[in-house]
Structure 1
């Protein structure tokens, strides 16, 4: 599993907690910051997934040789 996937999930979780806290305290800035953190985490996670898929495709191609 790619390190970017792990870091991305962590950022998504952190962002969700931050968003929930901002919502509970009526702090719009914190809530929006949490949503932004989630978006960044999602992109990073998807990037890690793409790297894993590429590695797997290369490994499968090497196995077929």
Structure 2
């Protein structure tokens, strides 16, 4: 799945995001509202990973989405 597809279905995808990254709150996901930069920033903040590591994790996760 491409990020722009995910962004268009943000409300439906939020549950899958919480399954993968449970430390993100509903408030986080509401504020992010499909913005990839904000999403990756929130992941960096919650999980203490580098920008590159977060980008790789998100890219790998997107490949599993159908």
Q: Same fold (TM over 0.5)?
A: no
Q: Which has the higher helix share?
A: 1
Task: Choose 1 or 2 for highest CA Rg.
Answer: 1
